Amino acid sequence: MQQEVPSSERDLFGGAIKAKLPTTLIDASDLRQIPDTQEVFLYPQSGISVIVEILERVEATDNTDAVRFHFDSLAHDNSAESSQSDSIVIIPNDRGDNTPSAIVLTGSQKVPKFNQSAADDVRILMSLFRVETKNADLVVTFNVPVSSQDGGAVGEEGWRAAKSDFENMIRSFRIVDYGLFA
């Protein structure tokens, strides 16, 4: 049985956003150049990655269409051989702050890796926070490989742990400085 990893509140984008993340995550900016519009974290014992991205708000006015647009964009960027969205739910923000409610999509993609014969099976946890007043979409994506050619895959237990981490992050996600979107 996998041991639960402690979480703590982390500052994202210089403290403009705060969210609870596992304390063991590696900040990818310590390893490579990351665009200013992204925060990227890596799980040290697997191929799971977490990306928080500030994007221009997409045209879709329906929240379901908007999160599907971002999921389809990710599939395109990943050169996915196939992708499937399994569920979309809204997790309301009931904390009383101005952070938008989370639109959460769970899905999967078959993603080919460079020089590999078979595509990786990657489960996707995606949350969209629509910041309408700033014409921005904040997208949080957990990429969870459940089968992989390079050994970074996690089993069902790892998937459940990642899902729990994702839910903790999304429920704690708060925008504290809207100047971030200026």
Q: Residue 131 has what pLDDT?
A: 95
Per the domain annotation, does 9 fall within a domain? no
CA distances in angstroms from 137 to 37, 52, 80, 85, 157, listed in the order given: 11, 11, 22, 19, 31
* Residue matched to tokens 């949350």: 127
Report which of 131, 132, 141, 136 is spatially closest to residue 162, judged by C-alpha positions: 141
For residue 151, pLDDT beyond 80: no
Q: What does the pLDDT average to over 115-141?
A: 92
Per the domain annotation, does 20 fall within a domain? no
pLDDT (tens digit per residue) in 72-103: 999 999 889 999 999 999 999 988 899 999 99
What mean pLDDT, rounded, does the chain reach? 92
Report residue 4's pLDDT band, with 50, 70 and 90 as the boundaries. low
| Alpha-carbon span 178 to 133, nearest angstrom | 9
Per the domain annotation, does 3 fall within a domain? no
Report residue 136's pLDDT band, with 50, 70 and 90 as the boundaries. very high
What secondary structure letter does DSSP report for 115? T
pLDDT (tens digit per residue) in 33-43: 999 999 999 99
Q: What does the pLDDT average to over 1-27?
A: 88
Q: Residue 3 has what pLDDT?
A: 53
The domain tally of the chain equals 1
Per the domain annotation, does 68 fall within a domain? yes
Report which of 34, 30, 26 is spatially closest to residue 5, judged by C-alpha positions: 26
pTM comes to: 0.93
Per the domain annotation, does 22 fall within a domain? no
Q: Is the dihedral of CA 28, 31, 35, 36 positive or negative?
A: positive
Per the domain annotation, does 40 fall within a domain? yes
Higher per-residue pLDDT: 149 or 158: 158
Per the domain annotation, does 131 fall within a domain? yes
For residue 130, pLDDT beyond 80: yes
Question: What is the domain-level CATH number for residue 167?
Answer: 3.40.1000.10
Q: Which domain holds residue 166?
A: 27-175
Per the domain annotation, does 7 fall within a domain? no
| Percent of the chain with pLDDT strictly greater than 90 | 80
